[in-house]
Structure 1
Amino acid sequence: MVDRFGRVHTDLRVSITDRCNLRCTYCMPAEGLDWLPRAEVLTDDEVVRLIRIGTQRLGITEVRLTGGEPLLRRGLPQLVARLASLTPSPELSLTTNGIGLSRIASALRDAGLSRVNVSLDTLRAERFAEITRRDRLADVLEGLRAARTAGLTPVKVNAVPVRGVNDDEIADLAAFSVNGGYRMRFIESMPLDAQGAWARDRMVTAQEILDRLGERFDLVPVERQDNAPAEEWRIAGTQTTVGVIASVTRPFCGNCDRVRLTADGQLRNCLFATKESDLRALLRGGADDAALEAAWRASVAGKGPGHAIDSPEFRRPQRPMSAIGG
């Protein structure tokens, strides 16, 4: 799939639920959100069919399952096994908050999952409870260890530094990854919270993150591979890499190769898209594979040049991150 700017799209992010068992302050209100009615969420058969069309007809080679919290999807190992059995088989990964991962990591690996990204914004139990409104840090750490043991590697740890909240732990999180054998990723916070409370002055920039890391570690630049969103550095004296995803201050829109499918079957050609293509309606209306392929191609063809967060033209998407999928 090629858009009008010549970008080839091979990476598909699939949200399999909008539900989450945390209430992170930078993502949603304490009371949570109104979850999608189950009848509106794509079934396993519908998810598999759309991904089959993506891999067989549209050149999708990587599929990442997201949420909400994807581990809340019932029968997840069975869904992963069905996706892994597609021909051609996509590279399958998953982004999770890690709660419950210890119980299912081996089953996911056996089903065909390749690797996981685990969100972890702090190593302090009290602060974790403040950020997520849940006292579950021990479960996340146990999930990380289980993922590594199961071979879901490289296990990546994702953190969103927020000024005055957890930005004093940037170097500590990197050291944790060195000691645990994980790959650390820091992500600039983005205006995708349900409350609409994102403030640019609370965002810790990529340069600030690197400056904090440089106070404790010697960083060796790693050549950027393909269209990977993270700029990477190796921590000298180790094999550990640390990455920074600078979606706001150093946007990588010019090389973006991603499309997103929401849990209710809406195709989004950009994380910050303000329009969606309703694939679920086509699916449930009896559309054949050719019609679904055409709708998918039309959506990608209409993709804009970038999200324009730093311009006056920027418009927040109506859906928050938890409803879009990472």
Structure 2
Amino acid sequence: DPNVFERLTRRPLLPDVMRGIEAAAAAGLFIKINVVALKGVNEREIPEIIAFAHGRGHDVSLIEVMPLGDVDEDRIDHYLPLSAVRDELAQRWTLEPIAFRTGGPSRYVRVRETGGRLGFITPLTQNFCGGCNRVRLTCTGRLYMCLGQNDAADFRTLMREGADDAAIDAAIDEAIGRKPKGHEFRIDRRCAAPSVARTMSATGG
């Protein structure tokens, strides 16, 4: 729905995105479409998006909304547990668990009727922190050890001060050693403020 796309992205550019997907496919690139499931916004489009992607040989990963950054709308109102989405999809299709992994947090099934892979990223309903192996380096040189925490290591300053490879390696080891056991995401009426002030676009993905 172009209107839903524009509401979410604040840009009327759905045709551009569709052309980009087509160009990537024509170039032989592997394509996975990530979809944040939002109650009352795009939940009814999820089966259509899956059918669209699988019909073209692309993977899909569904993601629970995460409390990152201040936004105009209340995340509590739009929080949609993927357990509920999966139950609804199971009424439509046969979801077969598979061992496929990408090294990330997505847990995959194969949709028998489409033949495509469908992933579920569930930071809230099925915490995956125990197996998380991800860190994120921003364009400003800050290394975040957890998407749901504020702790970060400043590599820009380190490199501008002339640190050699050994010092940088040591700083990476020290930062990884601070990787927490879990995030602090909470979505409920008692925690109205976002768990982390920075937005996803500021962190990068």
TM-score, normalising length: structure 2? 0.90
User: How is 1:290-305 mapped onto 2 (pairs within 5 angstroms)?
Assistant: 290-305=166-181
Measured after TM superposition, the shift of residue 224 of structure 1 is 5.0
Measured after TM superposition, the shift of residue 239 of structure 1 is 2.7
Q: Which residue of 2 aligns with 1:280?
A: 156
- Which one of the candidate residues 105, 108, 125 is aligned to 2:2? 125
Q: Which residue of 1 aligns with 2:204?
A: 325
Q: Which residue of 2 aligns with 1:213?
A: 89
Measured after TM superposition, the shift of residue 141 of structure 1 is 0.8
Higher relative contact order (CA 8 A, sep 6+): 1
Please say if 1:254 is aligned against 2:133: no
* Aligned residue type for 1:135: P
Q: Secondary structure at the match of 2:135?
A: strand
User: Structure 1: how far apart are the matches of 2:78 and 2:44?
Assistant: 13
Q: Which residue of 2 aligns with 1:144?
A: 21
User: Structure 1: how far apart are the matches of 2:150 and 2:3?
Assistant: 37
Q: Which residue of 2 aligns with 1:316?
A: 195
Instruction: Tell me, yes or no, if the aligned pair for 2:129 and 2:183 is still in contact at 8 Å.
Output: yes
* Aligned residue type for 1:291: A
* Aligned residue type for 2:107: E
Instruction: Tell me, yes or no, if the aligned pair for 2:137 and 2:143 is still in contact at 8 Å.
Output: yes
Gapped runs of 5+ residues in structure 2? none
Q: Which residue of 1 aligns with 2:104?
A: 228
* Aligned residue type for 2:92: R
Measured after TM superposition, the shift of residue 236 of structure 1 is 0.7
Measured after TM superposition, the shift of residue 200 of structure 1 is 3.2
Q: 1:286 to 1:319 in 2, by over 3 A?
A: same
- Which one of the candidate residues 165, 168, 171 is aligned to 2:41? 165
User: Structure 2: how far apart are the matches of 1:323 and 1:248?
Assistant: 21
User: Structure 1: how far apart are the matches of 2:84 and 2:8?
Assistant: 21
User: Structure 2: how far apart are the matches of 1:267 and 1:308?
Assistant: 18
Measured after TM superposition, the shift of residue 161 of structure 1 is 1.4
Measured after TM superposition, the shift of residue 308 of structure 1 is 3.2
* Aligned residue type for 1:248: L
Share of identical aligned residues, percent?
37
Q: 1:258 to 1:191 in 2, by over 3 A?
A: same
User: Structure 2: how far apart are the matches of 1:152 and 1:233?
Assistant: 22
TM-score, normalising length: structure 1? 0.58
* Aligned residue type for 2:131: N
* Aligned residue type for 2:162: G
* Aligned residue type for 1:146: A
Gapped runs of 5+ residues in structure 1? 1-123
Q: Which residue of 2 aligns with 1:52?
A: none
Kindly provide the CA deviation profile for residues 205-262 of structure 1, in whole angstroms up to 9, marking residues without a partner as x: 1111112212321111112537431111111144311111111111110001111111
Instruction: Tell me, yes or no, if the aligned pair for 2:69 and 2:194 is still in contact at 8 Å.
Output: no
Q: Which residue of 2 aligns with 1:241?
A: 117
Q: 1:163 to 1:226 in 2, by over 3 A?
A: closer
Q: Which residue of 2 aligns with 1:188?
A: 64
Q: 1:132 to 1:223 in 2, by over 3 A?
A: same
Please say if 1:204 is aligned against 2:44: no
Q: Secondary structure at the match of 2:70?
A: coil
Instruction: Tell me, yes or no, if the aligned pair for 1:191 and 1:198 is still in contact at 8 Å.
Output: no
Q: 1:289 to 1:196 in 2, by over 3 A?
A: farther
Q: Which residue of 2 aligns with 1:92?
A: none
User: Structure 2: how far apart are the matches of 1:281 and 1:205?
Assistant: 40
